[in-house]
Chains A and B, each alone.
Chain A
Amino acid sequence: EDQVTQSPEALRLQEGESSSLNCSYTVSGLRGLFWYRQDPGKGPEFLFTLYSAGEEKEKERLKATLTKKESFLHITAPKPEDSATYLCAVQADSSASKIIFGSGTRLSIRP
C-alpha cells in the first residue's frame, strides 16, 4: 500500500537553530514529491516539487532534497515566521491519479 510518513510530528526550535524534517515514502513509480507549508486555518502554500532522486531545490531558508526512499526539508537559521505545519505529498504510478499526503510536521520557532 502506498504510504507517506513524516517525522517528527512536532518540532520546536530556537530562532537560528537549523534542523531537518523528514518525509519517507513507499510507492511504485514516483512521479513527483511535493512540499507545502500550511498556516493554521489556511490553505496549503506550495513550496517545491521534486521529481527524481538527487534533485535539490532551494527557497530562502528552505532546501528540499530527494532520495529513492525519502525527502528532507532542511531549514537553515529559521525565524519565528517559519512556524507552520509542513506537509509532504507524493504522486506515483501505483496511486494512479491520487496525491497522497503525509500527516505533516508542526514546526514552532521560538524567538
Chain B
Amino acid sequence: DSGVTQTPKHLITATGQRVTLRCSPRSGDLSVYWYQQSLDQGLQFLIQYYNGEERAKGNILERFSAQQFPDLHSELNLSSLELGDSALYFCASSLGTSVTDEQFFGPGTRLTVL
C-alpha cells in the first residue's frame, strides 16, 4: 500500500459527460501528479501540482483540468468525454517539487466511456 488513495475505483459513463476523479496524497507529500494509461498510448504524464500550484504540464487535453486543494487532495476533471478517454487514471505523490523525486502511485481509477 503506497499511502495514496484514489476514488472511485471504477467509473462508467457515456460520451459527452463530465466526471471528477479524486486523489489523496501520502501524508506529508506536497506534490500530486496525474497520469493516463491506455493500451495504445501507454502511461502518459498529464499534470503536476505542488502545494496548490500547477507545477508542470504534460499531454493534458484542454477538455481536462485539475486542481489541488488546501488540504492537498487533488481532483482531475474530464469533460466532453470521448470513447478514447477510456483508460486507467493514476495519481501519484511525492515530497518535493522535482519530477525526479520518488513518486508513489495510487491504485488508479478505471474509466470506461460508452
Contact = CB atoms under 8 A, between A and B. Distances in A.
Interface of A: 31-32, 34, 41-46, 49, 51, 87, 89, 91, 96-104
Interface of B: 2, 4, 42-45, 48, 55-59, 90, 92, 99-100, 102-108
A44 B58 contact: no
A43 B100 contact: no
A98 B59 contact: yes
26 contacts: A32-B99, A34-B100, A41-B108, A43-B90, A44-B90, A46-B102, A46-B103, A46-B105, A49-B100, A51-B100, A87-B43, A89-B43, A91-B99, A97-B48, A97-B56, A97-B57, A98-B45, A98-B58, A98-B59, A99-B45, A99-B99, A101-B42, A101-B43, A101-B44, A102-B42, A104-B42
